């Protein structure tokens, strides 16, 4: 969703090696699902590029000759080119899955942020991933609005039982995080904890989008950065975490986040320490909440000693069992079916 920078030139060249007319996609589990990676040009909100991206999108959709009254489009990213494309194609049902407040991401073009509000107004149905996003959406629209929280692939994050040793390349007392590393991390908190506890190792797995703001942290001997890993490899690497955490700054925008990583941490049975995000409150029995340096120190120390919230791995896994993507998918399907029935 961001506009490219100089280092992306190689990736841009690869886009032109794909011919849109030859894009057939791939089947998924022998079901009627087609997955296509389309060669969109990543210049969001610029008219010429929106026209091109809209043409690519329309070409793929038009290749399916079914009547549009049978077609539902489910949008999870507010790409500006969709504004014209949706008007042109006249989908019978448009669903907007509002997973994040895109204004949090300072590197995104303003038209991406504006597009989320356009989608809130124009979509037939809206799902919001957090209670705060739900309340904000309710200020823009009055109906056809539901909460659909984030969830977890329980099977993917279930660590093997038994004597299998976890990967421990960073030693003992590992405080782990995975996800995008950006301005929402509380760098003062991380720095002070790392400086005050040289026997703890802080590991961050994921792409850096901090514009060098965390260089002083990763210069510390007990702070480590692992670049992005394939999704399939993350559980094995995270198995070496002794404590998982979410050290975000508590701001009004961050409060709207319902972090998927919290559910994934718990699905592994790991102790979790986090700032008290509103949508994680139902998991208070399994997560230790902390608001400042001393509270994080106490919570992490207790977790390392096995005395933190939800001390049993089984308790932590049980806490997120109802948040499986399968259950959430069933909920969304039931809502969508009811809407379609009421519209006929």
Read off the pLDDT band of 51 (50, 70, 90).
confident
Supply the pLDDT for residue 21: 46
Q: Report the predicted TM-score, pTM, of the whole model to 2 decimal places.
A: 0.85
User: What order do you get walking across the sheet with 145-147 strand by strand?
Assistant: 72-75, 93-98, 125-128, 145-147
* Averaged pLDDT for residues 106-110: 80
User: Average pLDDT over the chain, rounded to whole?
Assistant: 86
**Which residue segments constitute the domains of the chain, with CATH numbers given?**
6-151+326-343 (3.40.50.2000), 154-323 (3.40.50.2000)
Which of 90-112 are b and which e, b meaning 16 or more Cβ less than 10 Å from the residue's Cβ?
ebebbbbbbbbbbebbeebbebb
Residue 262 scores a pLDDT above 70:
yes
| Model pLDDT for residues 310-325, shown as the tens digit of each residue | 668 999 999 999 999 9
Read off the pLDDT band of 28 (50, 70, 90).
low
- CB hemisphere CA count around 311 (13 angstroms): 7
* Averaged pLDDT for residues 53-79: 77
Q: What 8-state DSSP symbol labels residue 310?
A: S
């Amino acid at each position: 969703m961001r506009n490219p920078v100089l280092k992306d030139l190689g990736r841009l060249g690869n886009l032109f090696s794909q011919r849109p007319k030859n894009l057939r996609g791939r089947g998924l589990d022998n079901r009627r699902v087609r997955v296509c990676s389309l060669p969109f040009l990543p210049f969001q909100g610029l008219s010429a590029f929106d026209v091109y991206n809209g043409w690519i999108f329309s070409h793929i959709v038009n290749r399916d000759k079914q009547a549009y009254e049978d077609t539902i489009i489910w949008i999870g990213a507010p790409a500006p080119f969709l504004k014209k494309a949706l008007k042109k194609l006249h989908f019978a049902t448009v669903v907007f899955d509002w997973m994040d407040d895109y204004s949090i991401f300072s590197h995104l073009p303003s038209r991406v942020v504006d597009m989320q509000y356009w989608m809130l107004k124009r979509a037939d149905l809206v799902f919001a991933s957090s209670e705060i996003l739900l309340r904000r959406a309710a200020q823009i629209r009055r109906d056809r609005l539901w909460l659909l929280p984030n969830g977890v692939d329980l099977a993917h994050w279930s660590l093997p039982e038994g004597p299998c040793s976890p990967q421990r390349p960073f030693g003992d007392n590992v405080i782990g995080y995975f996800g995008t590393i950006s301005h929402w991390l509380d760098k003062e908190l991380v720095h002070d904890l790392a400086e005050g506890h040289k026997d703890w190792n802080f590991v961050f797995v994921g792409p850096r989008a901090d514009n060098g703001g965390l260089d002083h942290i990763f210069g510390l001997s007990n702070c480590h950065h692992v670049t992005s890993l394939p999704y399939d490899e993350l559980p094995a690497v995270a198995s070496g975490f002794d404590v998982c955490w979410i050290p975000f700054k508590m701001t009004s925008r961050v409060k709207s986040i319902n972090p998927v990583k919290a559910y994934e941490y718990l699905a592994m049975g790991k102790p979790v320490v986090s700032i008290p995000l509103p949508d994680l409150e139902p998991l208070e029995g399994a997560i230790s909440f902390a608001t400042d340096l001393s509270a994080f120190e106490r919570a992490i120390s207790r977790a390392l000693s096995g005395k933190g919230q939800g001390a049993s791995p089984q308790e932590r896994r049980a806490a997120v069992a109802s948040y499986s993507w399968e259950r959430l998918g069933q909920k969304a399907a039931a809502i969508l079916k009811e809407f379609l029935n009421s519209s006929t």
